[in-house]
Structure 1
Amino acid sequence: MNHEDNERELFKRLEAEVFADSPAEESGDVVDFDKARTTRSDTNGSADGPGVESDDDDADRPRPVDGPQPKDPGLMGQAREAGRRELVPSWLKTRAELGTAVRWLAAYVGHIVAFHALRSPVYAGRLLRHTPRGIGRSLRGWRRWASDAEGAGLRSAEAFREHTGEYLKLSRQRDRRVRWRGAVTVVMLPILTTVALLLAFAAPWWIQTLAIATAVGVFGVVGAPADAPISQHAVVKTEAPKLTASMVTIALGALGNAELNAAIKKGAGLRFTSEIHRDGPGWRADIELPPGVTPDDVIDKRKELASGLRRKLGCVWPMPNPDDHEGTVILWVGDRPMHEAKAPVWPLAKSGTVDLFKPVPFANNQQMRWVNVSLMFVACVIGSIPRMGKTFLMRLLLLIAALDPRAELHAYDFKGTGDFRPLKPVCHRYRSGEEDEDIKYCLDDLRELKTELRRRAKVINSLPLSRCPESKVTSELASDKRLRLHPVMVVMDECQKAFEHDKYGKEIQEIVTDFVKRGPALGFITVLATQRVDKHSIPTPISANAVLRFCLKVTGQMENDMILGTSMYKAGYRATIFSFKRDKGMAWMSGEEDEPTIIRGTKVDAPMADTIVARARKLREDYGNVTGIAADEDLTADAAAGYDLLADIRTVTTAEEERIWNERIAARLAELRPEVYGGWKTENVTTALKPYGVKTTGVAGTTDAGERTTRRGIVRAHILKAIAERDDKRDAA
């Protein structure tokens, strides 16, 4: 029986034994015959039976599983895979950063010049005091040079060793030097004497003064002691030295992570994926951690890391690297803590307008670069523990919207402290307080906005695709006053007061949920703030649809993920790292970029807010968009009467429409308030205007079919006059 027959017979016996002794056939398991064959061979010493050696050497060899190793990519492949460094530094990319760098350099040089100029009399006195010593040192040095004194020691050493040949060579060299240097001295001495006499007796006074100052400066520096320099340092050595790989390695080793320490001890597993380089006012290191170590292990030990780097906690910011795998971390180390760093001036503080459909700079990151925010087409949630800057951040967003003269602002401060009061001159609706009447005021306003939301949906649906291809409000549509699709911003601080109200809360939740879900496409911006974003403070249907999120200081993982989103804490985006005392106004911002980023909002105090609002009010007056409470129109009075016809007609007409048909006014009023004006026709408008003294007249116009005709209508100036007269009577009363 040959080898193949023996092997087949062995497998038959093996198969019979396996199926006889194992329940694999009954359970449906698959038998690994290769493993069984190996086990059988190991037991019997050979696959051919007891005492018989197998001729097949491969049976006892481990099988390779990696396959052939790939070839190196070669020069071209390496070039394709290599990351390319930026052509220009980051501070040269934007005018703002370039201006910041130039201003810093100018201030630095100016400080040095001013420092030394102020101390110049002291420096002059020191130079004058050291001048005699400098003259003596200069004469002694010239004498030593002329006599070749520097070679005397070497000649003496060679003479002591009795190296006659070397000594004679050095002596001849000394003779040549002395002859040449003596000749130079003989020639220069009368020239210098003549120059000195001319300066003393023939030169103008200013040349004499300059010569004396030069001589005092030169001989004073020569005569100054080494341990007492003439000048002082204008700047002290920075406390933030250059970040190096050894510093980072030592700091990471101090974190107490076993895998990290083992890799550092072996000198393998910890790798810097790029050079440590300047990144804004600090240093950036991109680190590949050892296997099994994640960025969380470093972020959780931020205090220990700062201690290892010998930096303040506010300087050290480890964060995940969204552009690389889960074993990499970005370590940014600032020269100064973020709360101490001087932030650049907000570009919109003194001038400029806003287009809410474009990103607007509003905050700085750790590198003191501007971070943009896009408010259109999103709803926003802001959360943190008290006294960390939520209201300041909301007021900043309101100021941004106020600088777009088209925007309509509805600001509600349910904390009741009046933080939004500076914005009242530009708000359509404003309220501060948490009483029942304040919540009811908000609800009445939201009901009007709900009607407006429905009207906008109909307008968008009626527009041709050429004007509205994406079925949403655009900047061009918002600028068309006839469509009345301007941005509407609703801001509610301490929103839990409204949502949890026992009488009005449920309806407010329903309306705001509609704003958050349908409103972004129709020009609505909803901004909500509270301490803890749970299902009671901000109902889940609202918070789940909020794209833009700001998380300031929180105390735990649950609160962090409630604001930023599920698993954000685990991914390394943790607002628990912020200090309560030092990091006010700092937050993780999520929703603007692909990954969350740390920001510090521009600080705008109440006086600065008043200045910005005054500029925003002027922009709105020029644009013709001063409405609501900014125009002294009280929502409470309107709600009591059911409607304000004159104000509504002014709203549905534009300044360009000097005369307009009553039938068109009726149609627009029905869209504005269907519960009040639904079914109105020409005669209804005529009758309703009689008590105000507004008469109708024949108005020439063009029908929708393009025909010219004359129909009953009004003159818009008469409406404005009636409003002014009514307001004057109210003021007189």
Structure 2
Amino acid sequence: MTHQQDNPNHDDGNQPDRSEADREHGKDADIVHLDAARAGRQPQKPDTDRSEPDSPAKADGPVLEGAVVRVDQSGPTGADWRTALEAKARNRQPIIPLWLRSRSEAVETFAWVSRHYLHVAGYQVARLPLYGGRLTARAPRGLLRLVGGSIKWTFDLEGEPVRLAAVQKADPEAYLKLSRQRDRRVRLRALAFGAALVTLLIAAILVAKQPTATQWMALAVAIATLGVLGKPADRPLINRAVVPSAVEKLTSDIVIRALTVLGIAGINQAVAKNPKDAIRFVAPITRDGPGWRADIDLPYGVTVADVMDKRDRMASALRRPLGCIWPEGDSTIHEGRLILWVGDKDLSKTVIKSPLLKASSHDVFKGIPFGCDPRGRPIVVPLIEQNILIGSQPGQGKTASVRVLASGAALDPSTELWIHELKGTGDLDPHEQNCHRYVSGIEDEAIAYAADSLALLRKEVMRRAAALKALPPDLCPDKKVTRQIADKRSLGLHPLVAVFDECQNLFAHAEHGDKAGQDAEFIIKLGRALGVILVLATQRPDKDSLPTGISANVTIRFCLRVAGQLENDMILGTSAYKNGIRATVFQPGTDAGIGYLLGATPMPKVVRTAYLDTPATQRIADRAHALRANAGALSGHALGETPEQMAPTYDLLADILAVVPPSEAKVWNETIVHRLAELRPEIYGAWADLEGGAKTAQLTTALKPYGIKTMQVWGTPEGGGKGANRIGVAREDITKAITHRDGGRGASAAS
């Protein structure tokens, strides 16, 4: 009790007793004023007896112990209005609708509207005889209604019940007033009715004197008028040409209801605390293609990936098929921005017709029409300067996707096509007639043929690198293969598209797999800028069947249905699953042909590929063959030539160590090339024949995929001469590259 009396800050007697130790140290404890503590974080005005940390005089000085420091500003700063305006500017609605800004989408919209109204017009015109029969059948009833209504109106029979009511009430004054009013009405209406009868009689006499066609037309008008008057209330005259859709309009209430039943704790807690603003709509819900679009800011801490995990539950909440519900994010704004698109039609039941079916030719520099997104917008996959990886479980449309890309490449006569179908089912056989190299099979001979192709492509990449570098700047200023350069066939820099379907059978092969993986990685890293494009498709995306050096460097990825996160990220890239890009959401079988496309568009998209069956592919291939024959572009396998033999296998790094002894720490590139030519003339002889800087550049290019950088090396020519600084490599870098490549196994050999 004494302690409480001595405490000047004691508020009441309800504070629990402190222990003896607390009382002993109480003299050293600080008493916290709640008002002062709150003032340190609330933007309120300070009391007069407190220090003002916001004042200029004290802003730069030391903060005294016990002083109140505000962490929230009490008023807006000078930049706040700009920040708010910039935030609004990022969310401005476009002046011109999105569908009108895209030429192809605008044409498609106008075409759809035209087809719709042409259908309506044709439907109604075809039923004119039916409508005429209905009008004729209803005309007698209409005549009776017309006559009865005219008599009732003329003699003011609609007022008869009121006058009878006045009689029953014995109200003479009201009855006389109503009678006088009726007499006035009847006189005027009788005159009008008589005038109408005379007019109709005169019109009938005039029509009787007109030609027969006019008489029939007048009769048709009379019957139509009487038929309309005789129409039953429950039986419309004209049938509907288009049955209204039963799809429910998407509203904010429906969206909020759907989000709150997903079982996401962050959403439910936010809605419970603030039902009105927890889920914010940043734009009106509008029609977007064949469906509805809602742009939503999810509650704080909730990401789009959380919602995508519950896509099936959202479909249930919206009472729509799963193939109609396509949530996606917009990470350019923030991770909680959800774009919910609800389609009118199930994407899995939509058949996409490829424009290639009717195309007489195609230009691969403009990309290849691949399919459509859920909103019906066409998706074009760029091919030049790209490499493409396609993966899925068996039977999900992987080979059909490859067919689309191969067909687009075949219709460009400037493109050289190599196809390796390593399943042996002949799915790509229609394009055999257009290929420079072609194989179909799963046996060792077919695998060896595909491995030879990669070795030849590696050699081709090195040849093209030297050829492109030799081009004058005015012809090739950016050192890239362009349409103009590709058309100059003599340069040998035309697009070369190499397809490897079921590539896991190649990369997992005991004899050829390792070397094929190294060659493919080399081609992917360097070939795309030189017009060499790889299209790889696999149904077993793991580290053994798909080397990580390949999966990490492809630029375009298309993943159809896969079983789990590991397979998903092997195709779509590391952390794709974590970021909500999940091909596991697709349903086996029903969603065949639907996948996530990454790298071809600014944002990842769900895409349904155009379907080309074997007969359709055959028609495209025949058209491409005629086109190539006329252009003189057929070569290799298409002309029945013997396949080019692969050069003997070699290991460049091991060969360099063989010709550079440990005593030489650094050696010029040109010196290494000459020694390599002596070691394996059949492989490196062409390198030694190059002149000047091309010889040095050849080795630099060959070492680039291994991460080996060249440097300035001081040395003297082997035959004697003046010392100089020239481009060379360090032997230590070669040994490190071998160790890294072989996982430590090559360390002893390298030393």
TM-score grouping bracket, smaller chain normalisation: 0.7 to 0.9
Q: 2:560 aligns with which of 541, 546, 552?
A: 552
The verdict on how the C-alpha distance between 1:80 and 1:445 changes in structure 2, with shifts beyond 3 A counting, is closer
Summarize the alignment of residues 434-449 of structure 1 with structure 2, pairs less than 5 Å apart: 434-449=442-457
Post-superposition CA distance 1:579-610 (Å, at most 9, x none): 22221111110012232111111111222212
Post-superposition CA distance 1:448-483 (Å, at most 9, x none): 222222211111222333333333323322222232
For residues 571 and 75 of structure 1, the distance between their equivalents in structure 2, rounded to whole angstroms, comes to 28
Post-superposition CA distance 1:237-261 (Å, at most 9, x none): 2122322222222222332334424
User: Residue in 2 aligned with 1:12?
Assistant: none
For residues 181 and 306 of structure 2, the distance between their equivalents in structure 1, rounded to whole angstroms, comes to 70
Q: Secondary structure at the match of 1:490?
A: strand
Per mean C-alpha deviation after superposition, the further-off stretch among 393-402 and 381-390 is 393-402
User: Residue in 2 aligned with 1:463?
Assistant: 471
User: Residue in 2 aligned with 1:381?
Assistant: 389
Summarize the alignment of residues 595-606 of structure 1 with structure 2, pairs less than 5 Å apart: 595-606=603-614
Summarize the alignment of residues 31-110 of structure 1 with structure 2, pairs less than 5 Å apart: 38-39=31-32, 56=49, 64-70=70-76, 73=81, 77=85, 81=89, 83-110=91-118
The verdict on how the C-alpha distance between 1:175 and 1:569 changes in structure 2, with shifts beyond 3 A counting, is farther
Q: 1:303 aligns with which of 312, 316, 319?
A: 312
**Aligned pair 1:624/2:628, yes or no?**
no
Contact 2:416 / 2:435 at 8 angstroms: preserved in 1? yes
Q: 2:419 aligns with which of 411, 420, 424?
A: 411
Q: How far apart are 1:626 and its partner, in Å?
A: 1.0
**Aligned pair 1:614/2:619, yes or no?**
no
**Aligned pair 1:329/2:299, yes or no?**
no
The verdict on how the C-alpha distance between 1:463 and 1:231 changes in structure 2, with shifts beyond 3 A counting, is closer
For residues 139 and 75 of structure 1, the distance between their equivalents in structure 2, rounded to whole angstroms, comes to 75
Summarize the alignment of residues 175-190 of structure 1 with structure 2, pairs less than 5 Å apart: 177-190=185-198
The verdict on how the C-alpha distance between 1:117 and 1:319 changes in structure 2, with shifts beyond 3 A counting, is same
User: Residue in 2 aligned with 1:230?
Assistant: 237
Post-superposition CA distance 1:200-247 (Å, at most 9, x none): x42322222222222222212211221223333232221223222222
For residues 133 and 612 of structure 1, the distance between their equivalents in structure 2, rounded to whole angstroms, comes to 62
For residues 29 and 200 of structure 2, the distance between their equivalents in structure 1, rounded to whole angstroms, comes to 107
User: Residue in 2 aligned with 1:242?
Assistant: 249
Q: Which amino acid aligns with 2:552?
A: A
Per mean C-alpha deviation after superposition, the further-off stretch among 82-91 and 158-167 is 158-167
The verdict on how the C-alpha distance between 1:517 and 1:254 changes in structure 2, with shifts beyond 3 A counting, is same
Q: Secondary structure at the match of 2:140?
A: helix
Contact 2:308 / 2:327 at 8 angstroms: preserved in 1? yes
User: Residue in 2 aligned with 1:661?
Assistant: none
User: Residue in 2 aligned with 1:569?
Assistant: 577
**Aligned pair 1:315/2:324, yes or no?**
yes
Structure 2 unmatched runs, 5+: 1-20, 22-27, 37-46, 52-64, 650-680, 691-751
TM-score, normalization by structure 2: 0.73
Contact 2:418 / 2:437 at 8 angstroms: preserved in 1? yes
The verdict on how the C-alpha distance between 1:169 and 1:92 changes in structure 2, with shifts beyond 3 A counting, is farther
Post-superposition CA distance 1:498-521 (Å, at most 9, x none): 111111222211211110111112
For residues 90 and 530 of structure 2, the distance between their equivalents in structure 1, rounded to whole angstroms, comes to 45
**Aligned pair 1:477/2:485, yes or no?**
yes
The verdict on how the C-alpha distance between 1:640 and 1:269 changes in structure 2, with shifts beyond 3 A counting, is closer
Q: How far apart are 1:621 and its partner, in Å?
A: 2.5
Q: How far apart are 1:38 and its partner, in Å?
A: 5.0
The verdict on how the C-alpha distance between 1:39 and 1:377 changes in structure 2, with shifts beyond 3 A counting, is same
Contact 1:551 / 1:589 at 8 angstroms: preserved in 2? yes
Q: How far apart are 1:166 and its partner, in Å?
A: 9.3
Q: 1:591 aligns with which of 592, 595, 599?
A: 599
Q: 2:533 aligns with which of 508, 525, 530?
A: 525
**Aligned pair 1:427/2:435, yes or no?**
yes
For residues 69 and 227 of structure 2, the distance between their equivalents in structure 1, rounded to whole angstroms, comes to 84
The verdict on how the C-alpha distance between 1:526 and 1:36 changes in structure 2, with shifts beyond 3 A counting, is farther
Q: How far apart are 1:262 and its partner, in Å?
A: 4.5
Contact 2:456 / 2:647 at 8 angstroms: preserved in 1? no
Q: How far apart are 1:62 and its partner, in Å?
A: 7.5
User: Residue in 2 aligned with 1:219?
Assistant: 226
For residues 76 and 255 of structure 1, the distance between their equivalents in structure 2, rounded to whole angstroms, comes to 32
Q: Secondary structure at the match of 2:364?
A: coil
Per mean C-alpha deviation after superposition, the further-off stretch among 397-406 and 547-556 is 397-406
Q: How far apart are 1:37 and its partner, in Å?
A: 5.3
**Aligned pair 1:513/2:521, yes or no?**
yes
The verdict on how the C-alpha distance between 1:273 and 1:177 changes in structure 2, with shifts beyond 3 A counting, is farther
Contact 2:453 / 2:646 at 8 angstroms: preserved in 1? no
User: Residue in 1 aligned with 2:667?
Assistant: none
For residues 171 and 309 of structure 2, the distance between their equivalents in structure 1, rounded to whole angstroms, comes to 72
Post-superposition CA distance 1:137-190 (Å, at most 9, x none): 112222333344556667778999999999998777656544433332222221
User: Residue in 2 aligned with 1:361?
Assistant: 369
Contact 2:326 / 2:341 at 8 angstroms: preserved in 1? yes
Please report the RMSD computed on the Cα atoms of aligned residues, expressed in angstroms.
Answer: 3.7
Q: Secondary structure at the match of 1:286?
A: strand
**Aligned pair 1:280/2:311, yes or no?**
no
Contact 1:445 / 1:635 at 8 angstroms: preserved in 2? no
Per mean C-alpha deviation after superposition, the further-off stretch among 112-121 and 627-636 is 112-121
User: Residue in 1 aligned with 2:749?
Assistant: none
Q: How far apart are 1:539 and its partner, in Å?
A: 0.5
User: Residue in 2 aligned with 1:292?
Assistant: 301
Q: How far apart are 1:282 and its partner, in Å?
A: 0.9
User: Residue in 1 aligned with 2:147?
Assistant: 139
Contact 1:532 / 1:562 at 8 angstroms: preserved in 2? no
Contact 1:416 / 1:434 at 8 angstroms: preserved in 2? yes
Contact 2:455 / 2:646 at 8 angstroms: preserved in 1? no
Q: Which amino acid aligns with 2:195?
A: V
The verdict on how the C-alpha distance between 1:463 and 1:170 changes in structure 2, with shifts beyond 3 A counting, is farther
Q: Which amino acid aligns with 1:213?
A: A
TM-score, normalization by structure 1: 0.75
For residues 188 and 375 of structure 2, the distance between their equivalents in structure 1, rounded to whole angstroms, comes to 62
Contact 2:455 / 2:647 at 8 angstroms: preserved in 1? no
Q: Secondary structure at the match of 1:348?
A: helix
**Aligned pair 1:348/2:356, yes or no?**
yes
Summarize the alignment of residues 653-668 of structure 1 with structure 2, pairs less than 5 Å apart: none
For residues 94 and 243 of structure 1, the distance between their equivalents in structure 2, rounded to whole angstroms, comes to 25
Q: How far apart are 1:91 and its partner, in Å?
A: 3.8
The verdict on how the C-alpha distance between 1:233 and 1:678 changes in structure 2, with shifts beyond 3 A counting, is closer
Summarize the alignment of residues 152-231 of structure 1 with structure 2, pairs less than 5 Å apart: 177-199=185-207, 201-231=208-238
User: Residue in 2 aligned with 1:453?
Assistant: 461
Q: Secondary structure at the match of 1:339?
A: helix
Q: Percent identity?
A: 41
Q: How far apart are 1:342 and its partner, in Å?
A: 4.7
For residues 375 and 408 of structure 1, the distance between their equivalents in structure 2, rounded to whole angstroms, comes to 13
Structure 1 unmatched runs, 5+: 1-20, 22-34, 44-53, 643-671, 682-733
For residues 406 and 389 of structure 2, the distance between their equivalents in structure 1, rounded to whole angstroms, comes to 14
Per mean C-alpha deviation after superposition, the further-off stretch among 478-487 and 617-626 is 617-626
For residues 587 and 309 of structure 1, the distance between their equivalents in structure 2, rounded to whole angstroms, comes to 23
Per mean C-alpha deviation after superposition, the further-off stretch among 487-496 and 142-151 is 142-151
For residues 289 and 162 of structure 1, the distance between their equivalents in structure 2, rounded to whole angstroms, comes to 75
Q: Which amino acid aligns with 1:141?
A: G
User: Residue in 1 aligned with 2:711?
Assistant: none
Q: Which amino acid aligns with 1:309?
A: L
For residues 559 and 462 of structure 1, the distance between their equivalents in structure 2, rounded to whole angstroms, comes to 42
The verdict on how the C-alpha distance between 1:155 and 1:338 changes in structure 2, with shifts beyond 3 A counting, is farther
Post-superposition CA distance 1:46-71 (Å, at most 9, x none): xxxxxxxx994679997643112327
